[in-house]
């Protein structure tokens, strides 16, 4: 029997179009699903949207729409973004789907019968002016509340809070505390990476209180069965999507549900781990359902060290990136640059760097050189040689090793390492190709020449298979260039046997270097004529003169120069500038330049830049550094 794989993403809040963070969660699931299909597993990939709750209702009202019309208006943006990014999901669930709503109501009814959902009062100290409950974090509310006493001060406005008791339904979370702890102990792999399970265990050990799962103050939600003034509070409505979407509590869909549940991998960001690792298993235990096998928890994409989020206003629009770089390079960058276990910084510089060096240089050029040389020497059709020479055998062995390492990294969801393994082999193939100088062999030893072409083509074929889940469109092109029409599941692709005949085809380059493209991402906002600044704004920018004492190229960047600048009594600083196309390091050493001295240090190509060099755009496409007309002491501030 073929194995199955049910993979899910979190469902996304729909108060705006998807951003890079949502793309990241979805992309991870897509790579898992594609790899699983390639391995011949019966695969189901679920994603969708989380559409209820007060925030949606309020935002809809501001937009002058009904909540339903408001959420409907975003669905296209999600589905379109996923389509453009080649996200191959099987079903898109919406929490406003009638079958989801009915199934959640049935689920609630069941748990009510069992006594795991009960009606009581949610009580606490409430700030009337801020309309919020003072949470346990803000004040000590662990003691029994004396409702006549004055409440603690509101953490926002400082006014005294009042005792308020609101009728609510609770889920008996406390009942599952021991069962959860036992489950974690018996399933240490329930959460990947493992370390994240510790924080969950500690939280549960500290004691679980019953969970309020209904609200009477919110109207945009799933009404409680037989008590419609209560609506299900977001997490009870949202987490259940993972089962309702595959038929839970739906007549005629029992087989389907039995086929897919439990989920094999549930992808989520670290911010929603607690909900998935505590509430969700407790809900499932209460419903006598099996536990998901793995919760795969990823870190955050950050911008300038802060989480990228709508509320901080520092989000990157995936659709803009798509226009500039195309889907596959962005997919590659996110999966390669981010270690799933950690947070990672997003930077256009790093993205461009990855495209130029990993994709265009290492991989794209290997294919280009192979096809160009074969064409030049009338060798587009390449049969395997009767026997392999020693070096080709060695390359073949490296290829085998890569296959094993890659599969092991994929099994442990260490995508950046899986890609690192492939690139190590791409570089080994490049080295093999160069060392054998096939352009010379073409005239001297036709058999040896053909063997080099054949082993390089076999290497590329294997690489294309392994990269398919990451860059589906580009790898189709790579297959087409190698003349491979029929792709197989990995088990039947005979990747370990180098016995293929290739019919190479010349095609446009696989990847373009970003420098050769237009860059709409870098357009700067226009300064309006009437937007004058005051002298106060001018003095905010500290411009200081310094001498460039050392300067060198940054190996991992095509644009950057790294300078050590002497600011006299203000010290010496490392400053990076994207001026390599305009200056050689030796042109700058010893010169005085003008630098923004109080700019927040930022990372460029993995190095810290502690200021910014001022330059002027030259008419010749090169920049000119700024300087003072006559030498002044280092550290002098401009005014």
Q: What is the DSSP letter of 248?
A: T
301 binds ligand MSP (CB under 6 A): yes
Which positions ≥6 away from 607 have C-beta within 8 Å?
554, 560, 562, 574, 576
Residue 302 or 461: which CB sits closer to ligand MSP?
302
Q: What is the DSSP letter of 386?
A: S
The distance of closest approach from Cβ of residue 337 to ligand MSP in the complex, given in angstroms and rounded to an integer, is 12
- CA 34/CA 473 separation, integer angstroms: 13
- Please choose, out of 11-19, 60-68, 327-335, 441-449, the segment that lies near ligand MSP by the rule CB under 6 A: 11-19
- Please choose, out of 201-209, 304-312, 388-396, 498-506, the segment that lies near ligand MSP by the rule CB under 6 A: 304-312
- CA 143/CA 183 separation, integer angstroms: 30
What x-and-dash track marks residues 307-326 binding ligand MSP by CB under 6 A? Answer: xxx-----------------
Which positions ≥6 away from 372 have C-beta within 8 Å?
506
The distance of closest approach from Cβ of residue 357 to ligand MSP in the complex, given in angstroms and rounded to an integer, is 24
Residue 268 or 560: which CB sits closer to ligand MSP?
268
12 binds ligand MSP (CB under 6 A): yes
3-state secondary structure (DSSP) of residue 14 = coil
C-alpha 206: how far from chain center: 32
| CA angle (171 as vertex; 168, 175 as ends), nearest 5 | 140
Residue nearest to ligand MSP (CB): 269
What x-and-dash track marks residues 269-288 binding ligand MSP by CB under 6 A? Answer: x-xx----------------
What x-and-dash track marks residues 232-271 binding ligand MSP by CB under 6 A? Answer: ------xx-x--------------------------xx-x
Which positions ≥6 away from 89 have C-beta within 8 Å?
26, 29, 30, 33, 45, 46, 47, 82
300 binds ligand MSP (CB under 6 A): yes
Among residues 5, 7, 11, 615, which is the contact residue for ligand MSP, using CB under 6 A?
11
Order across the sheet with 543-553: list the strands: 572-577, 561-566, 543-553, 592-596, 612-613
201 binds ligand MSP (CB under 6 A): no
360 binds ligand MSP (CB under 6 A): no
211 binds ligand MSP (CB under 6 A): no
Residue 125 or 242: which CB sits closer to ligand MSP?
242
What x-and-dash track marks residues 17-56 binding ligand MSP by CB under 6 A? Answer: ----xx-xx------------------------x------
Contacts for 387-391 with beta carbons within 8 Å, 24 or more apart? Answer: 388/451, 388/455, 388/498, 389/448, 389/451, 391/432, 391/435, 391/436
- CA 519/CA 325 separation, integer angstroms: 9
The dihedral sign for the CA sequence 335, 336, 340, 344: negative
- Please choose, out of 182-190, 299-307, 491-499, 517-525, the segment that lies near ligand MSP by the rule CB under 6 A: 299-307
The distance of closest approach from Cβ of residue 613 to ligand MSP in the complex, given in angstroms and rounded to an integer, is 30
Which positions ≥6 away from 241 have C-beta within 8 Å?
11, 46, 48, 50, 93, 95, 100
CA atoms within 13 A on the CB side of 73: 13
429 binds ligand MSP (CB under 6 A): no
List residues binding ligand MSP (CB under 6 A). Answer: 10-13, 21-22, 24-25, 50, 238-239, 241, 268-269, 271-272, 300-301, 307-309
């Amino acid at each position: 029997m073929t194995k199955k794989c049910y993979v899910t993403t979190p469902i996304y809040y729909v108060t705006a179009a998807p951003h890079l963070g949502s793309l990241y969660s979805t992309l991870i699931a897509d790579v898992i699903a594609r790899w699983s299909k390639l391995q011949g597993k019966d695969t189901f990939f679920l994603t969708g949207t989380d559409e209820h709750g007060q925030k949606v209702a309020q935002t809809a009202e501001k937009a002058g729409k009904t909540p339903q019309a408001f959420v409907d208006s975003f669905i296209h943006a999600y589905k379109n973004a996923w389509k453009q990014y080649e996200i191959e999901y099987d079903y898109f669930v919406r929490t406003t789907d009638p079958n989801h709503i009915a199934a959640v109501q049935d689920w609630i009814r069941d748990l009510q019968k069992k006594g795991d959902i009960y009606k009581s009062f949610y009580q606490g100290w409430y700030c009337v002016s801020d309309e919020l409950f003072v949470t346990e974090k803000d004040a000590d509310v662990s003691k029994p509340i004396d409702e006549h006493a004055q409440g603690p001060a509101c953490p926002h406005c400082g006014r005294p809070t009042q005792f308020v008791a609101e009728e609510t339904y609770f889920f008996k979370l406390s009942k599952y505390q021991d069962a959860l702890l036992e489950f974690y102990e018996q399933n240490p792999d329930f959460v990947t990476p493992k370390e994240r399970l510790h924080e969950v265990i500690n939280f549960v050990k500290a004691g679980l209180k019953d969970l309020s799962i209904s609200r009477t103050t919110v109207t945009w939600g799933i009404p409680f069965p037989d008590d419609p003034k209560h609506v299900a509070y977001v997490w009870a409505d949202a987490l259940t999507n993972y089962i309702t979407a595959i038929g839970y509590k739906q007549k005629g869909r029992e087989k389907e549900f039995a086929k897919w549940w439990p989920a094999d991998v549930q992808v989520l960001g670290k911010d929603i781990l607690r909900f998935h690792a505590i509430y969700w298993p407790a809900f499932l235990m209460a419903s006598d359902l099996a536990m998901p096998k793995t919760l795969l928890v990823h870190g955050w994409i950050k911008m300038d060290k802060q989480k990228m989020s709508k509320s901080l206003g520092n989000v990157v629009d995936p659709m803009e990136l798509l226009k500039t770089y195309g889907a596959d390079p962005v997919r590659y960058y996110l999966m390669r640059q981010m270690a799933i276990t950690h947070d990672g910084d997003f930077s256009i510089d790093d993205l461009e760097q990855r495209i130029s060096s990993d994709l265009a240089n290492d991989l794209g050029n290997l294919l280009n050189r192979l096809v160009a040389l074969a064409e030049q020497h009338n060798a587009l059709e390449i049969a395997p040689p009767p026997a392999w020479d020693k070096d080709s055998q060695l390359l073949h062995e490296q290829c085998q090793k890569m296959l094993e390492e890659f599969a092991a990294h994929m099994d442990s969801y260490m995508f950046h390492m899986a890609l690192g393994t492939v690139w190590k082999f791409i570089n080994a193939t490049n080295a093999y190709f160069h060392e054998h100088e096939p352009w010379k062999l073409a005239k001297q030893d036709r058999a040896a020449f053909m063997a080099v072409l054949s082993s390089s083509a076999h290497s590329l074929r294997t690489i294309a298979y392994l990269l398919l889940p990451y860059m589906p469109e580009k790898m189709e092109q790579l297959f087409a260039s190698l003349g491979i029409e029929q792709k197989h599941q990995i088990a039947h692709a005979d990747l370990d046997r180098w016995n293929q005949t290739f019919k190479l085809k010349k095609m446009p380059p696989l990847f373009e270097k970003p420098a050769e493209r237009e860059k709409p991402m870098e357009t700067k906002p226009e300064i309006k004529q009437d937007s004058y600044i005051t002298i106060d704004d001018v003095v905010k920018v500290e411009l200081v003169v310094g001498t460039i004492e050392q300067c060198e190229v940054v190996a991992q960047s095509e644009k950057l120069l790294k300078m050590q600048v002497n600011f006299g009594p203000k010290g010496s600083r490392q400053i990076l500038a994207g001026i390599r196309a305009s200056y050689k390091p030796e042109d700058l050493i010893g010169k005085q330049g003008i630098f923004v001295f109080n700019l927040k240090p930022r990372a460029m190509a993995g190095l810290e830049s502690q200021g910014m060099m001022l330059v002027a755009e030259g008419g010749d496409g090169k920049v000119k550094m700024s300087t003072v007309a006559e030498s002044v002491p280092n550290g002098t501030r401009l005014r």
